[in-house]
Chains A and B, each alone.
Chain A
Amino acid sequence: MDWVNAVIQGILLGGLYALFATGLSLAFGVLRFVNLAHGDLAILGAYLAFSSISTFDVSVWATFFIVVPIMFAIGYVAQRGLFDFTLGEDPLPSILVSFGLGVVIQNALLVHYSATDRGLSVGSLATESIRVTNDISIGWFPVIILLVAVALLGGMQLFLSFTPLGRAFRAVSDDRDTARLMGINHRNLYGLAMGIAFATVAVAGIFLGSRTTFAPAQGPSQLLFAFEAVVIGGLGSLWGTLLGGIVLGVAQTVGNQVDVDYGWVGGVLLGHLVFLAVLAFRPSGLLGAKS
Chain B
Amino acid sequence: MTATAGPSTEESGGRFRISRSSPDATAGTWVAVAVVALLAILPFVGGDSTQRTLIGILTYLSLAQMWNLLAGFAGLITIGQQAFVGVGAYTLLVAAERNGVDPFLSIVAAGVVCAVLSAPVALFAFRLRGGYFAIGTWVIAEVFRLIALEIGPLEAGNVQSLTRRNALSGYDIDQLRDLIYWSSLALAAGATLVVVLVLRSRLGLALRAVRDDEAGAKGLGIDVTRTRLIVWMLASGWMGMTGALVHLNSQSINAPDAFSVLLWTALVIFIVVIGGVGSTTGPIIGVIVFWVVSDKLTDWFDLDDPWRFIILGILAALFAVFAPRGIYGWLQSWRPLQFFPVRRRLVGPGLEE
B309 neighbours in A (Cβ, 8 Å) = 103-104, 106-107
Q: Any chain B CB within 8 A of the CB of A160?
A: no
Q: Give the Cβ gap from B277 to chain A, nearest Cβ, in Å.
A: 7
Whether a CB of chain B sits under 8 angstroms from the CB of A119 is no
B324 A93 Cβ-Cβ under 8 A: yes
Cβ-defined contact, B316 with A107, below 8 A: no
* Complex-state Cα separation, A96 to B142, whole angstroms: 20
**Nearest chain B CB to A125's CB is how many angstroms away?**
32
Residues in B neighbouring A280, C-beta threshold 8 A: 123-124, 127
Q: List residues of A (221-270) whose CB comes within 8 Å of B's CBs.
A: 221, 223-224, 227-228, 231, 264-266, 268-269
Q: Are B138 and A96 in contact (CB under 8 A)?
A: no
Judging by beta carbons under 8 Å apart, are B310 and A34 in contact?
no
Please state if A85 and B321 are interface contacts (CB–CB under 8 Å). yes
In the complex, which residues of chain B have a beta carbon less than 8 angstroms from the beta carbon of A66? none
- The segment from A136-144, A145-153, A204-212, A271-279 that touches chain B is A271-279
Q: How far is the CA of A191 from the CA of B261 in the complex (A)?
A: 30
Interface residues of A in 74-113 (CB under 8 A from B): 82, 85-86, 91-97, 99-101, 103-104, 106-108, 110-111
The main secondary structure of chain A at its interface with chain B is helix
B159 at the interface (CB under 8 A from A): no
| Set of chain B residues within 8 Å of A272, measured between Cβ atoms | 139, 142-143, 146
Assess whether A283 is interfacial by the CB under 8 Å rule.
yes
Q: Contact check, B135 vs A100: say whether CB atoms are below 8 A apart.
A: no
- Interface contact A279-B127, CB-CB below 8 Å: yes
Q: Does A36 contact B (CB under 8 A)?
A: yes
The answer on a CB contact under 8 Å between B146 and A268 is yes
20 chain-A/chain-B pairs, Cβ below 8 angstroms: A34-B130, A34-B135, A86-B321, A91-B130, A92-B71, A93-B321, A95-B130, A95-B131, A99-B269, A100-B269, A100-B270, A107-B307, A111-B304, A111-B307, A111-B310, A266-B150, A276-B124, A276-B140, A280-B124, A280-B127
A99-B269, A264-B150 given. 14 additional CB < 8 A pairs?
Answer: A33-B131, A34-B134, A82-B317, A95-B77, A96-B320, A100-B314, A104-B313, A110-B306, A268-B142, A269-B143, A269-B147, A272-B139, A273-B143, A276-B140
Instruction: Please give the residue numbers on chain A whose beta carbons come within 8 Å of chain B beta carbons, in ascending order.
Output: 28, 33-34, 36, 82, 85-86, 91-97, 99-101, 103-104, 106-108, 110-111, 220-221, 223-224, 227-228, 231, 264-266, 268-269, 272-273, 275-276, 279-280, 283
Footprint of A on B, CB under 8 Å? Answer: 71, 77, 79, 123-124, 127-132, 134-136, 138-140, 142-143, 146-147, 150, 261-262, 266, 269-270, 273, 277, 304, 306-307, 309-310, 313-314, 316-317, 320-322, 324
The 10 closest A-B pairs by CB, nearest first: A34-B131, A91-B130, A100-B317, A96-B320, A107-B306, A104-B313, A269-B146, A107-B309, A103-B313, A100-B316
